[in-house]
Amino acid sequence: MSAMTELVHYDVADAVATITLDSPANRNALSRQLVTELVERLERAAADDAVRVVLVESSGKVFCSGADLSEASAEGMEQGTRAIVDLQRLIATMDKPVVTKNLGAVRAGGIGIVAAADIAVSAEEATFALTEVKLGLAAAIISLSVFHRMNPRAASLTALGGEVFSGADAAAYGLVTKAVPAERLDEEVATLCASLATGAPQGLRETKRILNRDLVARIDALGEEMATTSTRLFGSDEAREAMIAFLSRPKG
């Protein structure tokens, strides 16, 4: 374990903890290692009195490509599905606001991180897709946060179609807070985080609890059912064949 390359970095400056996903080999897929490190960094930020705001971003254009299909096809997803439910709950229940920033692609399970965050800022040109349906799966575990944020018509369109939509679309659908031109993304997020950091800790904590009460109740009520459903679908012959075919496609 000590020889493993760190996949999630952590830095604190000006009361903002920046958590950076950095696993380019699998496009920041939600591998066991990445999820474990992301949870640890979030918990570290939650416990740090010097931190008032948490920013989750990626080192490259791809924010997160969703589940690690190599792990899922080989080992199943029983532990993985529950870990992603717990990840969404952690983001929603932390006492500090969580902001996501994405310059480029967000797919499937990665959209659950964006939806669980309190504020999400995307480049207009970024791309999103709930691709599960194409693989014989469903956006089950991330439905806990994603369908809480999106308007119902947009949820049906994107989850049933599985097609790519833009950051600008994501803002119109309610999935992200705002979408801005890519060249303005860094400045916009820096200004936003600086503003959030002026909030008093008690004010931030109590306001977030009020705002996320329904989301947390939804996760608690449906989390186990959605994890069970997702695990069953990942373990099905139809999904396994689709994942293996996807992983066998020529790269590039």
Give the long-range contacts of residues 179-188, CB within 8 A, separation 24 or more: 179/121, 179/122, 179/123, 179/124, 179/126, 180/121, 180/122, 180/123, 180/124, 181/123, 181/124, 181/125, 182/103, 182/123, 182/124, 182/125, 182/126, 185/101, 185/103, 185/121, 185/122, 185/123, 186/101, 188/121
Q: Could you tell me how far CA 84 lies from the centroid of its own chain?
A: 9
- Residue among 150, 100, 103, 101 at smallest CA distance from 126: 103
3-class state of residue 43 by DSSP: helix
Q: Is 75 a residue of the active site? A: no
Let me know: does 175 contact 126? Beta carbons within 8 Å.
no
User: Can you tell me which residue has the tokens 């689709």?
Assistant: 242
78, 132, 225, 238: which one is catalytic?
132
Let me know: does 28 contact 34? Beta carbons within 8 Å.
yes
- Active site positions, annotated: 132
